Amino acid sequence: MIKTKLLPLLRIGICIVFMCASHISIAQTLNVVIPPLEPDATPQYTYFYKLLALALSKTEAEGPYTISYASATFTTERYLSELNNNRTISVLWTMRDKKREQNLLPVRISLLRDLNSYRVLLIRKEDKEKFEKINTLEELRTLKAGLGAQWPDTDIMRKNDFNVVTSMQYDSLFKMLIAKRFDFFSRGLYEINNEAEAHKNQNIIVDQHLMLYYDAPFYYFVNKKNKALADRIERGLKASQADGSFDKLFFSIPGFKEGYDEQYNTKRKLFKLESEN
């Protein structure tokens, strides 16, 4: 039998146990849903998946996480809408613009450094000498540019008085260039060499004379209500920058190192354009 004088102490002990138990928090698993990865995706594209996984791994002490793929493949515009309405996906990576930053919550760390801001041109091989003779922005403006109809770049080029021909389909732009619907296709330094290689048998080459620049960083975006996720991704990216793992991944991607070096090519004539803001 428990002695009467011990009962108050036991009651206190039991209360302490229950109070402590009520304050024990089990870390919830962070479920991150991203666009599906296509089987034939290029290393330049899979980079964004790997970098997100790297950033989340750097913050694993904050709690467990999972990364899963959405069940459907959409256009970038549709994904933006899905993210804005908190459906289908929880993270998207894309070029910033005013509308995207107003509707969504960006993690303002440039995923590609300046490799999307420095632009070089895909042209027809037969036009190589024509582009070598261009020395002013006014001369370049006499030619037609090709871009995606819903890309932020299109508004930037039009703001800078370029005549832009558009297509809703990315693949169609290469066919339109070959068919002389426009004269050049402006591409980021991180992607152009891979695209030129893929279309080398179609009379498409990289112009070696000109370069454009406008502010066009790629960010991770989340829903505006998901600030905790945005903050965690930001902390993870900064941690990976600090310990060098960001750079290690970045320069492991074929074409990134080449593109990084190319932005300092003094043989190219550089035209700086006004960005959206």
User: CATH code at 67?
Assistant: 3.40.190.10
> Which pLDDT value is given to residue 254?
86
Task: Mark whether 91 and 207 lie in a shared domain.
Answer: no
Task: Mark whether 65 and 108 lie in a shared domain.
Answer: yes
> Which pLDDT value is given to residue 26?
54
pLDDT in tens, the chain (277 residues): 444 443 343 343 434 333 343 443 456 899 999 999 988 889 999 999 999 999 999 999 999 999 999 999 999 999 999 999 999 999 999 999 999 999 999 999 999 999 999 999 999 999 999 999 999 999 999 999 999 999 999 999 999 999 999 999 999 999 999 999 999 999 999 999 989 999 989 999 999 999 999 999 999 999 999 999 999 999 999 999 999 999 999 999 988 999 999 999 999 999 999 986 5
Task: Mark whether 95 and 227 lie in a shared domain.
Answer: yes
Task: Mark whether 202 and 153 lie in a shared domain.
Answer: yes
> Beta-carbon neighbour count of residue 3 at 10 Å?
6
Is there a domain that residue 9 lies in?
A: no
Asked if residue 137 lies in contact with residue 157, where contact means CB atoms within 8 angstroms, the answer is no
The 3-class SS string of the chain reads: CCCHHHHHHHHHHHHHHHHHHHHCCCCCCEEEEECCCCCCCCHHHHHHHHHHHHHHHCCHHHCCEEEEECCCCCCHHHHHHHHHCCCCCCCEEEECCHHHHHHCEEECCCCCCCCCCEEEEEEEHHHHHHHHCCCCHHHHHCCEEEEECCCHHHHHHHHCCCEEEEECCHHHHHHHHHCCCCCEEEEECCCHHHHHHHCHHHCEEECCCEEEECCCCEEEEECCCCHHHHHHHHHHHHHHHHHCHHHHHHCCCCCHHHHHHHCCCCCCEEEECCCCC
| Nearest CA among 35, 41, 28, 29 for reference residue 90 | 35
Question: Residue 46 half-sphere exposure, CB side, CA atoms within 13 Å?
Answer: 11
> Which pLDDT value is given to residue 18?
37
Structure tokens at 177: 């260039």
Task: Mark whether 105 and 223 lie in a shared domain.
Answer: yes
Beta-strand pair 210-213/163-167: unpaired
Task: Mark whether 124 and 195 lie in a shared domain.
Answer: yes
Is there a domain that residue 1 lies in?
A: no
Task: Mark whether 122 and 109 lie in a shared domain.
Answer: no
Task: Mark whether 237 and 173 lie in a shared domain.
Answer: no
Is there a domain that residue 81 lies in?
A: yes
Is there a domain that residue 226 lies in?
A: yes
Is there a domain that residue 250 lies in?
A: no
Structure tokens at 246: 């960001």
| Nearest CA among 192, 171, 199, 49 for reference residue 118 | 192
| Nearest CA among 155, 199, 157, 140 for reference residue 175 | 199
Q: What is the count of structural domains for the chain?
A: 2
Side chain identity, residue 224: K
Task: Mark whether 66 and 195 lie in a shared domain.
Answer: no
Task: Mark whether 35 and 109 lie in a shared domain.
Answer: yes
> Which pLDDT value is given to residue 277?
58
Calpha distance 116→13 (Å, rounded): 62
Task: Give the phi and the psi of residue 95 in degrees, each rounded to 5.
Answer: -70, 140
> Which pLDDT value is given to residue 7?
38
Side chain identity, residue 127: D
Asked if residue 244 lies in contact with residue 118, where contact means CB atoms within 8 angstroms, the answer is no
Task: Mark whether 234 and 110 lie in a shared domain.
Answer: yes
Which structural domain range is residue 92 located in?
Answer: 30-114+217-243
